[in-house]
A and B are shown apart, each in its own frame.
Chain A
Amino acid sequence: MHRRQFIKALSSTLAAVWLAPKMALAAIWNKPVFETTQMTQALKDLGADLAIKSDKIQIKAPDRAENGAIVQLEIDSSLANTESIAILVEKNPTPLIATYNLVEGVAGYVVTRINMADTSDITVIVKAGGVFYKNTKNVVVLESGCG
C-alpha cells in the first residue's frame, strides 16, 4: 500500500483503533477495505473500479467446489510490470480476500486457498504499469465455506 492511502486509511479508522487497542498492532492492515460488505466499495477503495478486463490474467479454479471452505485458486498474470494482485469474491460477507503487493523480483503468480460462502464470481484485480486490469472466474459452491 502506498503511504498516502495508508495515512488516509489510518486516520479514518483511528476511532475504531482507539476503542480496540489490539488492532493498533496490525495498524498497517487496510481495515476499511477488508471489512466492507460491498463489492463496489471494495473495488473503489482499491482504486480498481474502472479496471479493464484482460485475458492476460489467468485464474485456475474448479468449476464446482464441493466445500466452500477450501477453494484453491492459481492466478497467473502475464501483464508486463505486474505490481499487485487482489482477490475478491462478490458473494462473500466481506468480498476482499487478499492483496499481494509485489515489491521486487516476484512474478505475477500466486496460489492460495480461499473460503467461498456461495456460488460466485471470483474477481482478480492486477495492477500493472500503474493501470488496473481484471478478470473473473465463476465457481459453483455446493456447501458454504463461511461459518
Chain B
Amino acid sequence: MMAKNMKMRARFNDGITTVKVLMHHPMETGRRKTDDDVTIPAHFVQVVTVKLNDQVVMESQWGTGISKNPYLTFKLTNAKVGDTVSVAWEDNKGEQSESSIAVT
C-alpha cells in the first residue's frame, strides 16, 4: 500500500538514531459498536517489522490495545547518517504498508 500511510523521522545524535513513526490505521478492537448497536469488526495491525538497510532489527507484535493511528519511537544503536530505516506493518485483514526514510 501507499507510503503516505506512515510518517517517519530518523535523527542521528551522539551515536544514537531516534526513529519516530506515526501510522494511519483505525485499530478497531472488535468490541466497539456503532450508534445502531452493530459491532465494528476488529481491524488492527498485528506485526510490525523494522529494517536497517534491509536487515531486520526489530520485530514487534501488537494486539488490540495499541491506540488508533499508532505512534512508535525506538532507538537504533548501529545506524549512521545516510542509512535507510524501513518500517512495514501487516494487519489482521492482510493489508500491508511499508515506508522508509534516510537517517539524518
Contacts and interface: CB of A to CB of B under 8 A. Distances in A.
A23 B92 contact: yes
Interface residues of B, number: 39
A26 B90 CA distance: 7
A124 B91 CA distance: 24
Q: How large is the interface on A (under 10, 10 to 19, 20 to 34, 35 or more residues)?
A: 35 or more
Interface of B: 16, 29, 31-33, 40, 46-47, 50, 52, 55-68, 70-79, 90-94
Nearest to B31: A147
Contacts of A113: 66-67, 70-71
Given A103-B58, A104-B55, 16 more contacts: A26-B90, A29-B47, A69-B68, A87-B65, A93-B64, A94-B65, A98-B60, A98-B62, A101-B58, A101-B60, A103-B56, A105-B77, A109-B73, A109-B75, A114-B66, A146-B31
Contacts, number: 127
B74 A109 contact: yes
Nearest to B64: A94
Contacts of A104: 55-57, 78
Contact of A106 (B32, B47, B67, B75): B75
Contact of B61 (A23, A30, A93): A30
A30 B52 CA distance: 24
A9 B66 CA distance: 22
